[in-house]
Amino acid sequence: MVYGICVRIGRLAAVSIFLLNSGCASLMSSAASGFADNLSAAVLNQNDPETVRDGAPAYLLLLDSFLEGSPDDPALNAAAANLYATYGAVFAEDPERARRLTERARRYSSKAMCVKYKPSCDWVGMPFDEYSATLDGLGEKHADFVYAHGVASLTYIRAHSDDYVALAELPHMEALLTRYLEISDGESDGSVYTFLGILATLRPPALGGEMEKGRAYFERAIEISGGRDLSAKVEFARGYARTLYERELHDTLLQEVMAADAEVPGFTLTNVLAQRDAAELLASADDYF
């Protein structure tokens, strides 16, 4: 379970948490908003992940500078959470650095949620039943902040996967993302379904894994993107087909990923990373199966 959360959530985070930067930037100045819009588009359409890795720290510092002047701005906090979570989950090779960066992401996303939705201020350490009850008050106006907090929290858990207190929050995040689907306008639903598929298939059936539920989530994610987001197929193969030893499905999904054109507007970075993962999974398939 720990290995699964480290690999799978970290890779998927690369692009999905950039999707809301444009919306969260809407409360900034027009210049900052335009910059965030353009940066998000550039990142999503970048076919060289190393360029993103090398260039993102400058934007991290820029967002920090914005927050020095407006520390309680929920949009700025959410935008900072998005980028810190991406960088910490995908590009920080040193585990201790990844922990620091994702802690900062989680802090920013928690602040954004607390400003926008007061019951969330008490979420840390709250028992699941009480936490779940607070989700009923979330509405469409909270959707961007819910998404940012959910994914930042998953990357935080990923970086702290040796901490069982952190891992105990996984059901809370599943509930939060499920609530997001109920209140969102559908813009980022594909990636959320993939996240939910990962969570449903982290454990084998004997240990509580919900494999068919996970399959339905992955298939819905593929349907929403029209197959353009290759990460959904990779996670489908990794989480469902490998766990159930379905070699034919596993290889078919990954071969489709390798044969696809990675350069799709809005998905290029995700797809390049997905093809790297697909190649590794195919190379290890004979030993695994």
The answer to whether residue 266 is domain-embedded is no
* Per-residue model confidence (pLDDT) at position 244: 95
In a domain, 105, yes or no: yes
Contacts of 270 (CB under 8 A, 6+ apart): 12, 14, 15, 16, 44, 229, 230, 231
Q: Is residue 85 one of the residues assigned to a domain?
A: yes
Tell me whether residue 256 is in a domain: no
Evaluate whether residue 244 is within a structural domain: no
Domain that holds residue 150: 2-187
Q: Residue 201 domain-assigned?
A: no
Domain assignment present for 43? yes
Q: How many residues does the chain have?
A: 289
Per-residue pLDDT at 189: 76
> Does a structural domain hold residue 207?
no
Global confidence as pTM: 0.81
Number of structural domains the chain divides into: 1
**Which residue stretches of the chain have pLDDT < 50?**
1-7, 14-31, 33
